[in-house]
Amino acid sequence: MAELISKDMIIEEVVKKYPKTVPVFFAHGLHCVGCHVANFETIEQGAMGHGISDIGKLMSDLNEVAGKGADDDDKDGES
């Protein structure tokens, strides 16, 4: 599966494009999704600021959820 989300993406942009990722951010301890900092902070910066050492797992989980959403979007267009 292609990587839809990268660690240098702005948190707010990811949440807007892939709203189903919100629970993933929360599960990893990144509760800044609704915070004003999410407007300019990257996923990597947020993870570092919250002491998340396994950013690879965070990214994997985010991309898994985003990929499922992208698959759903593809199916919607197949009528």
pLDDT at 6: 96
For residue 25, being part of any structural domain is answered with yes
For residue 1, being part of any structural domain is answered with no
2 vs 49, residue with greater confidence = 49
Query: Model confidence over 17-61: pLDDT tens digits?
Result: 999 999 999 999 988 777 888 889 999 999 999 899 899 999 999
Coil vs helix vs strand at 42:
strand
For residue 40, being part of any structural domain is answered with yes
For residue 34, being part of any structural domain is answered with yes
For residue 5, being part of any structural domain is answered with no
Q: How many domains does the chain have?
A: 1
pLDDT at 76: 46
Report pTM. Answer: 0.82
Q: How far is CA 59 from CA 3, 73, 76, 78, in A?
A: 9, 21, 26, 29
For residue 3, being part of any structural domain is answered with no
Q: Range of 35's domain?
A: 11-76
